[in-house]
Amino acid sequence: MFIDYVKIKVKAGDGGGGAVSFHREKYVSAGGPDGGDGGKGGDVVFVVNPGASSLIDYRYKTKFEAENGQPGGNRKCTGRSGKDLVLRVPAGTVVRDVATGRVLADLSGDEPVVIAKGGRGGWGNARFATPTRQIPRFAKPGLPGEAFELSLELKLIADVGLVGFPNVGKSTLISAVSGARPKVANYPFTTLTPVLGVVKIDEASSFVMADIPGLIEGASEGVGLGHAFLRHVERCRLILHVVDASGIEGRDPKEDFDKINLELARFSPELARQPQIVAANKCDIASPEQIEALREFVEAQGYTFFPISAAAHQGLEPLINHISTRLAHLPPVRVYEPEPLPVEDVQERDRFDIRVEQGVYYIDAPFLVRILEMANMDDYESLQYFQRVLQKSGVIDALEELGIQEGATVDIDGFAFEYMR
Is 363 in contact with 412 (CB distance < 8 Å)?
yes
Report the distance separating Cα 240 and Cα 212, nearest Å.
Answer: 11
Q: Which element (helix H / strand E) includes 324?
A: helix 316-327
Q: Tell me what percent of the residues of the chain surpass a pLDDT of 70.
A: 86
The angle that helices 170-177 and 316-327 make with each other, rounded to 10 degrees, is 80
Is 118 in contact with 143 (CB distance < 8 Å)?
no
Q: Please tell me the CATH code under which domain 349-418 is placed.
A: 3.30.300.350
pTM exceeds 0.75 for this model: no
Which region among 69-78, 118-127, 191-200, 268-277 has the lowest average model confidence (pLDDT)? 191-200
Return the beta strands (E) in 32-78 as ranges: 44-48, 63-65
Q: Is the pLDDT of residue 374 over 90?
A: no
Q: Is the pLDDT of residue 345 over 60?
A: no
Is 234 in contact with 106 (CB distance < 8 Å)?
no
Which band of pLDDT confidence, cut at 50, 70 and 90, is reported for residue 214? Answer: low
Is 263 in contact with 358 (CB distance < 8 Å)?
no
Stated length of the chain: 421
pLDDT in tens, 43-67: 999 999 988 878 989 988 999 999 9
Q: Work out the average pLDDT over 236-255.
A: 90
One-letter amino acid at 250 equals G
Parts of the chain belonging to CATH 2.70.210.12: 1-155
One-letter amino acid at 146 equals E
pLDDT at 343: 45
Which band of pLDDT confidence, cut at 50, 70 and 90, is reported for residue 9? Answer: very high
One-letter amino acid at 231 equals R
Q: Is the pLDDT of residue 254 over 90?
A: yes
Which band of pLDDT confidence, cut at 50, 70 and 90, is reported for residue 302? Answer: very high
Residue with the bigger pLDDT between 50 and 297: it is 297
Give the end-to-end CA distance of the chain in Å, rounded to a whole number: 66
Query: Which range, 28-32, 223-227, 285-289, 334-338, is most confident?
Result: 285-289
Residue with the bigger pLDDT between 412 and 113: it is 113
Alpha-carbon distance values, 200 to 78, 113, 207, 221, 316 (Å)? 56, 32, 7, 36, 13
Q: Is the pLDDT of residue 348 over 70?
A: no
Q: Is the pLDDT of residue 8 over 80?
A: yes
Parts of the chain belonging to CATH 3.30.300.350: 349-418
The overall longest dimension of the chain from CA atoms, in Å, is: 107
Which region among 8-12, 155-159, 229-233, 304-308 has the lowest average model confidence (pLDDT)? 229-233
Which band of pLDDT confidence, cut at 50, 70 and 90, is reported for residue 335? Answer: confident
Among 90, 99, 228, CA closest to 151 = 99
Q: Please tell me the CATH code under which domain 160-327 is placed.
A: 3.40.50.300
The strand order across the sheet containing 103-107 reads 63-65, 5-11, 147-154, 93-97, 103-107
pLDDT at 186: 52
Which band of pLDDT confidence, cut at 50, 70 and 90, is reported for residue 288? Answer: very high
Report the distance separating Cα 350 and Cα 345, nearest Å.
Answer: 10
With H, G, I as helix, E, B as strand and everything else as coil, classify residue 231. Answer: helix
Which region among 37-51, 211-225, 275-289 has the lowest average model confidence (pLDDT)? 211-225
Q: Is the pLDDT of residue 189 over 60?
A: no
Which band of pLDDT confidence, cut at 50, 70 and 90, is reported for residue 225? Answer: very low
pLDDT in tens, 151-182: 999 887 789 988 888 888 888 899 899 876 65
Query: Which range, 34-38, 374-378, 402-406, is most confident?
Result: 34-38
Sign for the pseudo-dihedral over CA of 235, 240, 244, 250: positive
Report the distance separating Cα 86 and Cα 66, nearest Å.
Answer: 9
Mean of per-residue pLDDT scores for the chain: 83
Which band of pLDDT confidence, cut at 50, 70 and 90, is reported for residue 185? Answer: very low
Conformation bin of residue 32: beta by default, left when phi > 0, alpha when psi is -120 to 50: left
Residue with the bigger pLDDT between 252 and 337: it is 252
Q: Please give the DSSP secondary-structure letter assigned to residue 28.
A: B
| HSE (side-chain half, CA atoms, 13 Å) at 288 | 0
* Domain 1-155 -> CATH class: mainly beta
pLDDT at 363: 87
Parts of the chain belonging to CATH 3.40.50.300: 160-327
pLDDT in tens, 388-401: 788 888 888 888 88
Residue with the bigger pLDDT between 192 and 278: it is 278
Q: Is the pLDDT of residue 99 over 60?
A: yes
pLDDT at 47: 96
Report the distance separating Cα 279 and Cα 242, nearest Å.
Answer: 5
Q: Is the pLDDT of residue 96 over 90?
A: yes
pLDDT at 353: 86
- Looking at the DSSP assignment, which residues form a beta bridge with residue 195? 211
Report the distance separating Cα 367 and Cα 182, nearest Å.
Answer: 55
Report the distance separating Cα 64 and Cα 148, nearest Å.
Answer: 10
Which region among 53-62, 109-118, 211-220 has the lowest average model confidence (pLDDT)? 211-220
Report the distance separating Cα 309 and Cα 304, nearest Å.
Answer: 17
- Concatenated DSSP letters of 129-183: --SS--S----PPPPPPPEEEEEEEE----SEEEE-STTSSHHHHHHHHSS----
